[in-house]
């Protein structure tokens, strides 16, 4: 399944280039050349006038990568870790972005190179990285902690089940809920930062991968969409109750999808956008429009 997802991803990238980028390039003269794979470029919304909706180039990453994670730290810096590098290998490197200088600084490397993992900022300010895939296309069960004070990584307890394309959610009680994913479809488990161990919790009603998980204001976690164990796109959704450790089905999405996003709005509602519905990815046309109309992209 790892190879299948990578091949499918490559196909959609080629399709996106054919449909969107090539027609755009024919009408514009290229002034710079950029790699389409593991590019080190970074952009940010301009701080002077966020209402303008424009993007400004900022400092490049030291190591080009994708399928990595980016985590906002308590000190305001951003930690980027792991990913698939330009040599198409899992990377153990990590670096920090300083918004004040707009530059990246190399920090301590992961103990295990990985991509398609998760990174979660804990209540104590440390970052938990878990699971993912290594260069040999093996699903990982290992986990480690990043300490911003020392810039180093320390191995912590391993997941009970190796997984990737899963979700990790910081709960209101400070524990981390990991749910679903390839190699672990219906299972879920909890990480306790105090003990550094994982405990199995209630299984999802529908095993899924490439879904979303959103912490709601009431402390429950909403999981939606994804691909089920039969590799069929799902529109189902369910709620996790930390008090009981159980999942309850809730209203289904109007459109089955995977690799989408879910955002908690100020009014407590959850906005789900884009994703793949299988024929072809939902966001292709929208991305094409953004590429043509975007400023500074």
Say which residue the tokens 């164990």 belong to.
229
pLDDT at 185 over 60: yes
26-30, 93-97, 165-169: segment of lowest average pLDDT: 26-30
Q: What span, in angstroms and rounded, lies between the C-alpha atoms of 160 and 8?
A: 29
Distance CA 124, CA 249 (A): 32
Give the right CATH number for 37-158 from 1.20.1530.20, 3.90.1150.10, 3.40.50.720, 2.120.10.80.
2.120.10.80
What is residue 163's predicted lDDT score, i.e. its pLDDT? 98
Instruction: Report d(CA 146, CA 63) in Å as an integer.
Output: 19
Q: Given pLDDT bands bounded at 50, 70 and 90, which one contains residue 278?
A: confident
pLDDT of residue 36: 34
| Mean pLDDT to the nearest integer, 178-183 | 96
Task: State yes or no: pLDDT of 34 exceeds 70.
Answer: no
At residue 191, does pLDDT exceed 90? yes
pLDDT at 51: 75
In the prediction, which pLDDT does 41 show?
64
Query: pLDDT tens for residues 282-293?
Result: 543 332 212 122
pLDDT value for 282: 54
Q: Which range, of 21-30, 206-215, 241-250, averages the lowest pLDDT?
A: 21-30
Does position 142 have pLDDT exceeding 80, yes or no? yes
Mean pLDDT of the residues in the chain: 84
* pLDDT at residue 200 is higher than 80: yes
> Tell me, what's the pLDDT at 5?
53
Question: Which residues partner with 275 through β-bridges?
Answer: none
Could you state, in order of their start, the residue ranges of all structural domains in the chain?
Answer: 37-158
Over residues 222-240, the mean pLDDT reads 96
pLDDT digits (tens, 9 = 90+) for 117-134: 999 999 999 999 999 999
To the question of pTM greater than 0.85 for the whole model, the response is: no
């Amino acid at each position: 399944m790892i190879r299948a997802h990578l091949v499918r991803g490559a196909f959609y990238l080629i399709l996106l280039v054919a449909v969107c980028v090539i027609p755009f390039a024919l009408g514009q003269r290229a002034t710079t050349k950029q790699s389409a794979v593991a590019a080190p470029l970074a952009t940010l919304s301009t701080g002077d006038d966020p209402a303008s909706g424009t993007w400004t180039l900022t400092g490049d990453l030291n190591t080009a990568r994708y399928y990595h994670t980016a985590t906002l730290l308590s000190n305001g810096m951003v930690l980027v870790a792991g990913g698939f590098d330009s040599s198409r290998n899992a990377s153990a490197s990590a670096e920090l972005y300083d918004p004040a200088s707009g530059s990246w600084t190399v920090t301590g490397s992961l103990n295990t190179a990985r991509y398609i993992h998760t990174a979660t900022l804990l209540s104590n300010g440390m970052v938990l990285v878990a699971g993912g895939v290594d260069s040999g296309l093996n699903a990982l069960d290992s986990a480690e902690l990043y300490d911003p004070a020392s810039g180093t990584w320390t191995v912590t307890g391993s997941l009970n089940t190796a997984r990737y394309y899963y979700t990790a959610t910081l709960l209101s009680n400070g524990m981390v809920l990991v749910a679903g994913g390839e190699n672990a479809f219906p299972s879920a488990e909890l990480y306790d930062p105090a003990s550094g161990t994982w405990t199995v919790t209630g299984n999802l009603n529908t095993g899924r991968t490439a879904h979303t998980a959103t912490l709601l204001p009431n402390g429950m976690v909403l999981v939606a969409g994804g691909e089920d164990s039969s590799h069929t796109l799902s529109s189902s959704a369910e709620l996790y109750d930390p008090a009981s450790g159980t999942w309850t089905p809730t209203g289904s999405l109007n459109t089955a999808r995977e690799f989408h996003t879910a955002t908690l709005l100020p009014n407590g509602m959850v906005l789900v956008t884009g994703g793949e519905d299988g024929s072809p990815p939902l966001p292709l046309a929208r991305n094409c429009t953004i590429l043509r109309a975007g400023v500074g992209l």
